[in-house]
């Protein structure tokens, strides 16, 4: 079992390393060009490897079950982002309905926990107190997943998505996926190489905000392009 876990952990790290390199390349490359498309495809495949083996580790290693949910969320984000870029404008099918079902399933535990906090009715026990930083993280995840589920519902009900809304859907889901990969690398990976007991310096939290800053830049350009915007947003 130890050998198997070492192999899974190695594949998880390899997938994450490739995802970081490909993700940074894709987000910085001219949009719609060959480099952007190839880097995006590599990022998508690397994230599948990263998240799949993260899910295995979450099940096999004690105290890591929360990472099973995070892995599923990362897979969902990059898969729907990739599908949005591959689909023609204004087209939706079974895959989008499956995405809606997945996002609603991911929303369910957060909805129950929030209901429990607001109502005071104890539905299930948690292994930790939901307050402070944990409450902030929980609320942030709940907001992002609710946003994703709302977007999925719009795509299904409208029978597709086009223009700048399509670009925005692709952008934010890919960038949040890259944010999760970056956060995992610096706060859960690189921090373990520091001397002494495991701890995460404040500096190691900063890199995960870089994809979000770049997301804000590209979202601004997308919205300024108007409804005639296409999947290509080439810099001047």
Residue 150 sits in the same domain as residue 190: no
Does an H or E element contain 69, and which?
helix 66-86
Rg (CA), the chain: 19
For range 174-184, the mean pLDDT: 91
Domain final position from 137, 159, 181: 159
pLDDT band at 88 (very low <50, low <70, confident <90, very high): confident
Q: Give the pLDDT band of residue 229 (cuts 50, 70, 90).
A: low
Q: Is residue 205 part of a domain?
A: yes
What pLDDT, on a 0 to 100 scale, did the predictor assign at position 153? Answer: 95
pLDDT exceeds cutoff 80 at 116:
no
Q: Are residues 96 and 83 in the same domain?
A: no
Q: Within this chain, do residues 38 and 152 fall inside the same structural domain, yes or no?
A: no
Same structural domain, 153 and 166: no
Same domain, 127 and 226: no
**Domain residue limits at 78:** 1-87+162-231
Report the number of distinct structural domains present in the chain: 2
At residue 233, φ and ψ (nearest 5 deg) are: -125, 85
**Domain final residue pick, 112, 138, 159:** 159
Instruction: Examine the domain organization and report whether 176 and 215 are in the same domain.
Output: yes
Same structural domain for residues 179 and 155? no
- Same domain? For 225 and 167 the reply is yes
Any domain includes 107: yes
Instruction: Using the 3D structure, point to which of 109, 124, 159 is the last residue of a domain.
Output: 159
pLDDT reading at 154 higher than 90? yes
**Residue 46 confidence (pLDDT) above 70:** yes
121 lies in some domain: yes
* Distance, CA of 121 to CA of 127 (rounded, Å): 17
Q: What is the pLDDT of residues 139-148, one digit of tens each?
A: 788 889 999 9
Query: Do the domain assignments include residue 22?
Result: yes
Using 50, 70 and 90 to split pLDDT, how confident is the model at 163?
Answer: confident
- Note whether 80 and 101 are within 8 A (CB): no
pLDDT tens digits for 13-27?
899 999 999 999 998
Would residue 236 count as lying in a domain?
no
Do 5 and 67 lie in a common domain?
yes
Please report the pLDDT score of residue 235 as a whole number.
Answer: 46
pLDDT above 90: percentage of residues in the chain: 42
* pLDDT above 80: residue 1: no
169: nearest Cα among 154, 186, 187, 151: 151
Based on the fold, state whether residues 10 and 32 are members of the same structural domain.
Answer: yes
61 lies in the same domain as 136: no
Distances (CA, A) of 175 to 20, 182, 236: 11, 10, 22
pLDDT at 47 over 80: yes
Residue 40 has pLDDT above 70, yes or no: yes
75/167 same-domain check: yes
């Amino acid at each position: 079992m130890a050998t198997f876990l070492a192999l899974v952990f190695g594949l998880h790290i390899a997938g994450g390393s490739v995802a970081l390199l490909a993700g940074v390349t894709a987000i910085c490359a001219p949009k719609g060009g060959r480099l952007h498309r190839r880097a995006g495809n590599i990022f998508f495949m690397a994230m599948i490897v990263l998240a799949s083996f993260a899910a295995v580790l979450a099940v096999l290693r004690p105290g890591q079950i929360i990472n099973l949910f995070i892995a599923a969320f990362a897979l969902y984000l990059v898969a729907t982002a990739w599908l949005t870029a591959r689909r023609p404008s204004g087209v939706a099918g079974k895959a989008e309905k499956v995405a809606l079902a997945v996002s609603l399933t991911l929303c369910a535990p957060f909805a129950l926990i929030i209901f429990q906090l607001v109502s005071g009715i104890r539905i299930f026990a948690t292994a930790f107190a939901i307050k402070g930083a944990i409450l902030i993280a929980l609320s942030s995840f709940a907001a992002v997943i609710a946003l994703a589920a709302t977007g999925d519902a719009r795509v299904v009900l409208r029978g597709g998505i086009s223009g700048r809304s399509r670009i925005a859907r692709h952008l934010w889901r890919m960038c949040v996926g890259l944010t999760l990969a970056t956060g995992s690398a610096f706060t859960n990976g690189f921090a373990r190489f520091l001397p002494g007991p495991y701890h995460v310096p404040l500096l190691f939290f900063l890199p995960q905000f870089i994809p979000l800053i770049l997301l804000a830049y590209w979202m601004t350009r997308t919205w300024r392009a108007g409804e005639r915007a296409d999947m290509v947003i080439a810099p001047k």
